[in-house]
Chains A and B, each alone.
Chain A
Amino acid sequence: MIEISHIHKVFNGVTVLNDVSAVFESGKTNLIIGISGSGKTVLMKCIVGLLQPDSGQVLFNKESFHEMPPERRKEVRRQIGMLFQGAALFDSLTVEENVMLPLNMFSHSSKKEKLERVNFCLERVNLAGANHKFPGEISGGMKKRVGIARAIVLNPKYLFCDEPNSGLDPKTSLVIDELIIELTKEFNITTIINTHDMNSVMEIGENIIFLHKGQKAWEGNSHQIIESDNQELNSFIFAGEFLREARDHLISQRKKL
């Protein structure tokens, strides 16, 4: 479980995060949503320790991340897997080498065991046989799946996904979403996802936090989001005419039931 309390972050006099608090439970897909520039990525970077919040706390299982001694922080970092927006694969390494890198760095297993683990993870993301391909030779969706395989190779307790569906077609997005929710349930991971993708919000949003101008403006799940009366949230989620009509239709159907 991850808890954030009263996170505040300012860049060059501009407040990007203002008193954001939330609890992200394990075994659940926790989504952070909001328009571009609302502070989603900064919040995620504060949680994983890439940025230091100006005030507030990030607790990993009740332990304050920013107050941990460096060695303990390293240990916690090894329990974190992260999927980046562009997958962040190392161009000079093959798919297999990319996934094996964390094992080579931190695992004491034999080469055979490491290879077995890599193959297991690649199979898990439906990429068996792509071991010797370079990132430049695979599609965007495959890169994301390699990124997921690398993120889960050390059996993380925490999985962070920054825009996992950006630049992907709806079908591939769905595959990535299903994969993330399966892994979250299977390994009881605390998963935090930054997304704009409304399909993901509705499909896998077990706990959704809506950021608006750096503040938490709404919290709930994908069922509650339909009936929310938060104007900013509604104008973000149901931005188009079609979606607004679909929402109204759904609400009227629910009322009839």
Chain B
Amino acid sequence: MRFVRDLGLYMKMLGRMFSRPERWNMYWKELLRQMNDIGVGSLSIVLMASLFIGAVTAVQSAYQLYGTPFVPPYYLGLIVRNTTILELAPTFTCLILAGKVGSNIASELGTMRISEQIDALEIMGVPTETYLVMPRVIASVIVVPIMVIIAASAGVFGAWIAANFTGYGSQEEFVYGLRAFFDPFDVQIMLIKSFSFGFLISTISCFKGFYVRGGALEIGKASTQAVVLSCIYVLLADYVIAEVLL
């Protein structure tokens, strides 16, 4: 019953998000601020995580391939590339962003709700869903794919560095593997995933923060729920997209 009510509220929030803004420049400023918060604010952690995940993928794949006579050494590059583009970059980056950006959005909006800032905007006649939710969702849908592209590049770079130390194949073979049998559709899938995950993270976090009731304790709970739900729905969407598109 609660799920149905929440789903109704969530759909209502999405519907009201698209009402016509009064002053575009105010929304434009807010959009830029959100893009900066989501993108620049998360860049270092995404880069760091991607470099190491790429490196670990290379090392562990090399470990699996050792002593397998029928697998050519360049396959290491191919495995790393496909794993990174199809799964690790979009999913792992978005799980990190769900934690960082999701909790940030939910707690920011929750605090605004509890301290009556949202009520103040409503009384002024500002369409609050449009002013507060839309810039966050659009910023997320724009920035998350960019972050995922950066993460994929960093992951492959991390893998290339680590592959040098595995002793499995040469650098040239690794680079050949990275380029072999490349299908641009894999990149399309990565982008579709990142758009979808960006949308899910931002809308779920906005929903949890926007409708919070109570005090500081509830803001903490809403923030945690935003992260947990975002992660669950990202993983669910990951499976659905893979099932439908692959």
Chain B residues, Cβ within 8 Å of A48: 123
**A85 proximal to B (CB < 8 A):** yes
Chain B residues, Cβ within 8 Å of A78: 124-125
Stretch in contact with the other chain, from B113-121, B150-158, B194-202:
B113-121
Give chain B's interface secondary structure class.
helix
- For window 82-119 of chain A, which residues contact chain B by CB distance below 8 Å? 82, 84-86, 88-91, 101-102, 104-106
Q: Which of B22, B23, B111, B120 sits near A84, CB closer than 8 Å?
A: B120
Chain B residues, Cβ within 8 Å of A247: none
In the complex with contacts A104-B23, A105-B26, A106-B22, A84-B116 CB distance below 8 A: yes
Whether A106 lies near B119 (C-beta < 8 A) is: no
In the complex with contacts A86-B116, A88-B115, A50-B26 CB distance below 8 A: no
Whether A88 lies near B26 (C-beta < 8 A) is: no
Instruction: Give the CA-CA distance A102 to B115 in the complex, in Å.
Output: 18
**A77 proximal to B (CB < 8 A):** yes
Instruction: Give the CA-CA distance A85 to B117 in the complex, in Å.
Output: 11
**A255 proximal to B (CB < 8 A):** no
**A201 proximal to B (CB < 8 A):** no
Instruction: Give the CA-CA distance A49 to B123 in the complex, in Å.
Output: 8
> How many residues does chain A have at the interface if contact means C-beta atoms less than 8 Å apart?
22
**A74 proximal to B (CB < 8 A):** yes
Whether B124 lies near A88 (C-beta < 8 A) is: no
Chain B residues, Cβ within 8 Å of A80: 123
Kindly supply a per-residue 1/0 record for chain B positions 9-38, scoring 1 wherever the CB is within 8 Å of any chain A CB and 0 otherwise: 000000000000011001000000000000
Inter-chain residue pair count (beta carbon < 8 A): 47
Instruction: Give the CA-CA distance A88 to B119 in the complex, in Å.
Output: 8
The residue in chain B whose Cβ has the minimal distance to the Cβ of A101 is: B124
Chain A residues, Cβ within 8 Å of B122: 49-50, 77
Chain B residues, Cβ within 8 Å of A106: 22-23, 124-125
Instruction: Give the CA-CA distance A91 to B26 in the complex, in Å.
Output: 17
Instruction: Give the CA-CA distance A48 to B115 in the complex, in Å.
Output: 17
Whether A77 lies near B124 (C-beta < 8 A) is: yes
Chain B residues, Cβ within 8 Å of A104: 23, 26
In the complex with contacts A86-B116, A88-B116, A77-B123 CB distance below 8 A: yes
**B146 proximal to A (CB < 8 A):** no
**B43 proximal to A (CB < 8 A):** no
In the complex with contacts A82-B120, A84-B119, A88-B120, A74-B26 CB distance below 8 A: no
The residue in chain B whose Cβ has the minimal distance to the Cβ of A50 is: B119
CB of A71, distance to nearest CB on chain B (Å): 10
Whether A50 lies near B115 (C-beta < 8 A) is: no
Instruction: Give the CA-CA distance A75 to B125 in the complex, in Å.
Output: 8
Chain B residues, Cβ within 8 Å of A74: 125
The residue in chain B whose Cβ has the minimal distance to the Cβ of A77 is: B125
The residue in chain A whose Cβ has the minimal distance to the Cβ of B124 is: A102
Q: Which residues of A contact B (CB under 8 A)?
A: 48-50, 74-75, 77-78, 80, 82, 84-86, 88-91, 101-102, 104-106, 160
Q: Which residues of B contact A (CB under 8 A)?
A: 22-23, 26, 111-112, 115-117, 119-120, 122-126
A82-B120, A104-B23, A106-B124 given; 17 more Cβ-contact pairs under 8 Å: A48-B123, A49-B123, A75-B125, A77-B123, A77-B124, A77-B125, A78-B124, A82-B123, A84-B119, A84-B120, A89-B117, A90-B112, A91-B111, A105-B22, A105-B26, A105-B124, A105-B126
20 contacting pairs across A/B (C-beta < 8 A) = A49-B123, A50-B119, A50-B122, A74-B125, A80-B123, A84-B116, A84-B119, A88-B120, A89-B117, A90-B112, A90-B117, A91-B111, A101-B124, A102-B124, A105-B22, A105-B23, A105-B26, A105-B126, A106-B22, A160-B123
